[in-house]
A = this chain, B = another copy of it.
Amino acid sequence: MNLPQRLGVLTSGGDCPGVNAVIRGAVLGGTVAHGYEFVGFRDGWRGVLEDDLLPLPRRAVRGISGLGGTILGTSRTNPLSEGGVEAVRGSMRRHRLEGLIAIGGEGTLAAGKALSDQGVNVVGVPKSIDNDLGATDYTFGFDSAVQTATEAIDRLRTTGESHHRCMIAEVMGRNAGWIALHAGMASGAHAILIPEHRVALKQVAAWVTSARDRGRAPLVVVAEAFTPEGQDAPYAPRGLDTFGRPRLGGIGLALERELQQLTGIETRATVLGHIQRGGEPTAFDRVLATRLGMAAVGAAAAGRWGTMVSLRGTEIVNVGLEQALGALKVVPEARYREAAVLFG
């Protein structure tokens, strides 16, 4: 008698709404449609390296598609450290795993590619609230982050109008300004500031003043990594993160100070921060994430290792992991110009 084939699932990198829906889609779809058994590794690659895992029968994923976070935990452990590849192979052999479903961002997909090049069976599911991964129209989690940011900015707007203030909302976006672009357009911002498109503070002040002169309470949405033209580096990093990269933040408060001085308009900044990463995914993200999870297992069943699943139009397709790597997907100049028409 044949034993059922087995896959491992892991979730890596920053929290992102929809991860649980991917897990559920993979486990439920894989169990029902392909007869797979699943195990889940705890805390991403750490669980693989340290052989820390749990069984994932279908009842373990009941009702989780709407839950924020990840039932498997996450970490920023890199599997390509010294001895890592052997440890991954060992764990897969011990637990009789045909392959891994790796749900993660750029680092995880790059690691998946490197493992795959060394013969380890991996299918990737791209994950980024920032929507900055290539080869997919959208990453899951992005829609939820934009929705949360937009609801928060809607709240700020009413206060701006009551007080005739300029309100600034700092949103996430380490490399790309997608959240700022979408949340800013959705909330009717008078200026959207993104890292891809440098703008001088004087220009921002001019937009703010012009909105005020039309009787509006100016609203500025700024991505955390925006750097004004003529300035060397993002504002005020606060220490280092667990990768040793500078932690961003500070542009919101810096703009508060600078714009108030340049325009004479009372200005208040709010840093939305981690509320953009957590909590229940939108219905859009739940559907996208569920389909990605199911498709990832389908790719595994078809032996398409070294690939990842992605959204193209309304279809879920399968592309080589290398396509998501290299250049990040940034906001094209045309999309910024389109949004900027509405500033004025």
For A294, the chain B residues whose CB sits under 8 A away are 338, 341-342
Min C-beta distance of A294 to chain B, whole Å: 7
**CA of A73 to CA of B284 in the docked complex: distance in angstroms?**
28
Is residue A164 contacting chain B, with contact meaning CB distance below 8 A?
yes
For A342, the chain B residues whose CB sits under 8 A away are 25, 28-29, 32, 290, 294
Tell whether A270 pairs with B274 under 8 Å between CB atoms, given A182-B283, A284-B284, A286-B186: yes
**CA of A253 to CA of B282 in the docked complex: distance in angstroms?**
28
Tell which of A91-99, A153-161, A200-208 binds the partner. A153-161
Tallying the copies of this chain within the complex gives 4
Chain B minimum-CB-distance residue to A266: B242
Determine if A70 and B338 form an interchain contact, defined as CB atoms under 8 angstroms apart. Answer: no
Interface string of A132-167 (1 = CB under 8 A from B): 000001100001001111111011111111111001
For A287, the chain B residues whose CB sits under 8 A away are 146, 182, 185-186
Within 8 A of B (CB), among A247-282: 253, 266, 268, 270-275, 277-279, 282
Is residue A188 contacting chain B, with contact meaning CB distance below 8 A?
yes
Which size class do A's interface residues fall under? 35 or more
For A157, the chain B residues whose CB sits under 8 A away are 63, 278
For A270, the chain B residues whose CB sits under 8 A away are 271, 273-275
Instruction: Identify 19 new A-B residue pairs, CB closer than 8 A, beyond the known A15-B159, A156-B278, A268-B274.
Output: A11-B162, A15-B158, A32-B341, A32-B344, A43-B164, A59-B214, A59-B215, A73-B162, A73-B164, A74-B162, A146-B287, A150-B283, A152-B275, A154-B278, A155-B274, A162-B278, A185-B287, A185-B290, A185-B291
Contact surface of A with B, Cβ cutoff 8 Å: 11, 14-15, 19, 24-25, 28-29, 32-33, 43, 59, 62-63, 65-70, 73-75, 137-138, 143, 146-152, 154-164, 167, 182-183, 185-188, 214-216, 238, 242, 253, 266, 268, 270-275, 277-279, 282-284, 286-287, 290-291, 294, 312-314, 338, 341-342, 344
